[in-house]
Amino acid sequence: MKPLLYSQFDANTRNIGWRREGNEIKYYKNNTDDRQQPFYCLTWTIQFPYDQDTCFFAHFYPYTYTDLQCYLLSVANNPIQSQFCKLRTLCRSLAGNTVYLLTITNPSQTPQEAAAKKAVVLSARVHPGESNGSWVMKGFLDFILSNSPDAQLLRDIFVFKVLPMLNPDGVIVGNYRCSLAGRDLNRHYKTILKESFPCIWYTRNMIKSSLFTVVILRSKNAKKERDEL
């Protein structure tokens, strides 16, 4: 839980990016006298490394929408991975950003073999501030797209439907939990409002079309969210 620091001077002169920094780090609950719901605070001390520098702080190592697009472009341009990984647009977000869907499986020899495969659905970044989910997702994609015997076996048995960034609007504008509409998308899996919650509506519709096992890359509340889904 140690905060991260990014120094533009270090990045430009020493090729050093985000790094853990800070002392006297405290996470604590505020005391309130009016019996309202308390707030939680993070405090820490830090000495900036240089004068006349521009610095940024982060809760976890960032993973941006641009990072995802660069990664997906490398997959699409890979002559081997592109044979068993198909990239398409699931939908457009409220702001018009692409919500990407990857379908990963080895080609089947017969229609019967293809029909026997069950689908495994994975999603990340429904809460945009949880960038650790994107790093876990990248680790999974690195593995499942590799030539590892285990990865090849899994691609033979399953069809993986992967939504690497379910809430791109929130990621882009810097929200921690909500969409561009200020709503927690994880609480709207039962919505019928296609225009208001397109990312969730199209995800649910895609899941309904397959027999599936759902894996949500999340850091907390996973059981409650699975029950709601």
Pairwise CA distance, residues 130 & 134, whole Å:
8
How many CA within 13 A on the CB side of residue 77?
6
Sign of CA dihedral 76, 173, 129, 163: negative
Neighbours of 158 (CB within 10 A): 18
Number of domain units in the chain: 2
Token pair belonging to 166:
């379910």
How confident is the model at residue 228, as a pLDDT?
47
How confident is the model at residue 77, as a pLDDT?
96
User: Structure pTM?
Assistant: 0.82
- Assigned domain for 136 exists: yes
What are the residues facing 123 on neighbouring strands?
163, 216
Per the structure, the complete domain to which residue 36 belongs is given by 4-58
How confident is the model at residue 54, as a pLDDT?
97
Q: Are 106 and 125 within one domain?
A: yes
pLDDT average per 10 residues of sequence, the chain (229 residues): 94 96 90 74 93 94 96 96 95 95 93 87 94 96 97 96 96 93 87 86 86 48 50
- Assigned domain for 228 exists: no
- Assigned domain for 169 exists: yes
Q: Are 46 and 25 within one domain?
A: yes
How confident is the model at residue 8, as a pLDDT?
97
How confident is the model at residue 37, as a pLDDT?
79
Q: Are 51 and 69 within one domain?
A: no
